[in-house]
Chain A
């Protein structure tokens, strides 16, 4: 089942502008929140979620 994608508005915007689908990013914030760093890590290619 799909977990809810949780991220602050600015992080959602950053992901959108970077062409990143948040569903692919591994969250490290509290309550499964995706942080800007998580998106940056994904962009750097260090992160590959299933």
Chain B
């Protein structure tokens, strides 16, 4: 280090350029702040480079390949061939388009972008280590958005053939076989995708159901579909140890008292993600963490250190990109002197499984646990003309409303385009819409969206396209 090195002054320092950080940076710049963003890796964070975007690209390619193999339309004969390296190259162009877009947006908003690793030296000062040198920055405000990384199992450490979602997304060929440890949404999305590409997939889940955070009615349909692709799903299975050789891995797991082994080309560990809070020097500046290692924040996204904010996967709540971005806007607005707070009635969650699952607000079980009297309306895809014409008649839309007021409390959709259908329901909940409000809104025909209207009518006891018993 150079003696007498200069400390640069910056106004708003954003650490991390994922969906939390880059959105925070842009909103702060829109509000007239001068902003510096530092990321040690690629712009766009996990979501754009190793998460949402590449996984969805592979999922849609796999879906297309599978659908083409067994054309669902009688009279339309197709043959499918797969050149996986081209699929990967395409996925990479998708990622580059999106990350390039982030770069353009940051530049367009006159945001100073630095590549380097940040750690705090003082409550108002951070050091940035680039490849060649270190620099100190004194800031007025800082937003920490350093995200998360895959959890490693101590007994089954990452290696050449024991991999995380990062490596699974960049396989250069479809593995012959794959064991997935962890049946959460990332494990299910990736397991199902590689099964469709032709891998023999085994999913091991510790609890008694895959997608344990979702109601059994939802996970059951995904499970049925996984079996169609010859995926072995083992629940209540505890992975114990792994042996690796030149050609593959042998994994040992316990199922109750019994011990089993399974062999595959790779083991993909998707048991959860850990917040990137350890190497920032948070303890030296006294930022409080929760017992899970997450950063404690208030409703303005402020940490225990004045002028330092935290957002995204490193703070409590759902580890989802749209939650990170929402918090990014709140933090930026608070810094700019606005009265913003984290204030939402609901936040949608989507699993891009086949069929897709999307939920928002309370489930029926949640509502009952809160001692709420509810009306429930469920409408099947099989009774929707558009769904049948799409050859996608599997699934349902379910609404949960307060019995007395009719106020919509929650919704669950499983089936084609569930990920898009859920947006209307989130809006309805935020606006305080009732079942009648939804039922009286004209939905275009024939569309999947009509199921939203009809499930509201089911809950109200007067549906047209199903018979009330």
| Interface residues, chain A, with chain B CB atoms under 8 Å away | 6-9, 12-13, 16-17, 19, 29-33
Could you tell me if A31 and B430 are in contact, using CB atoms closer than 8 angstroms? no
Q: Which 7 pairs of residues, A with B, have the shortest CB-CB distance?
A: A6-B432, A16-B339, A17-B339, A8-B431, A33-B432, A31-B405, A9-B430
How many A-B Cβ pairs are below 8 Å? Answer: 29
Closest chain B CB from A17 CB (angstroms): 5
Q: Does B406 contact A (CB under 8 A)?
A: yes
What residue of chain B has the Cβ atom nearest to residue A17's Cβ? Answer: B339
Could you tell me if B434 and A31 are in contact, using CB atoms closer than 8 angstroms? yes
Q: How far is it, in angstroms, between the C-alpha of A29 and the C-alpha of B407 when the chains are bound?
A: 13
Size category of the B interface is 10 to 19
B340 contact set on A, CB distance < 8 A = 13, 16
Could you tell me if A8 and B430 are in contact, using CB atoms closer than 8 angstroms? yes
Could you tell me if B432 and A8 are in contact, using CB atoms closer than 8 angstroms? yes
Q: How far is it, in angstroms, between the C-alpha of A9 and the C-alpha of B340 when the chains are bound?
A: 12
B338 contact set on A, CB distance < 8 A = 17
What residue of chain B has the Cβ atom nearest to residue A33's Cβ? Answer: B432
Could you tell me if A31 and B407 are in contact, using CB atoms closer than 8 angstroms? yes
Q: Does B77 contact A (CB under 8 A)?
A: no
8 contacts across the A-B interface (CB closer than 8 A)? A8-B431, A9-B430, A13-B340, A16-B341, A17-B338, A17-B339, A19-B339, A31-B406
| Interface residues, chain B, with chain A CB atoms under 8 Å away | 338-341, 343-344, 405-407, 430-432, 434
Known: A12-B343, A17-B338. 9 other contacts (CB 8 A): A6-B407, A6-B432, A7-B432, A8-B430, A8-B431, A16-B343, A19-B339, A31-B406, A31-B407
Closest chain A CB from B374 CB (angstroms): 14
What residue of chain A has the Cβ atom nearest to residue B437's Cβ? Answer: A30
A16 contact set on B, CB distance < 8 A = 339-341, 343
Query: Which of the residues A13, A17, A19, A31 comes within 8 Å of B432, measured between beta carbons?
Result: A31
Closest chain B CB from A35 CB (angstroms): 11
Closest chain B CB from A38 CB (angstroms): 13
Closest chain A CB from B27 CB (angstroms): 14
A7 contact set on B, CB distance < 8 A = 432
Closest chain A CB from B298 CB (angstroms): 14
Q: How far is it, in angstroms, between the C-alpha of A16 and the C-alpha of B341 when the chains are bound?
A: 9
Q: How far is it, in angstroms, between the C-alpha of A9 and the C-alpha of B430 when the chains are bound?
A: 6
B407 contact set on A, CB distance < 8 A = 6, 31
B344 contact set on A, CB distance < 8 A = 9
Q: How far is it, in angstroms, between the C-alpha of A8 and the C-alpha of B431 when the chains are bound?
A: 4
Closest chain B CB from A27 CB (angstroms): 10
Closest chain B CB from A47 CB (angstroms): 20
A30 contact set on B, CB distance < 8 A = 434
B432 contact set on A, CB distance < 8 A = 6-8, 29, 31, 33
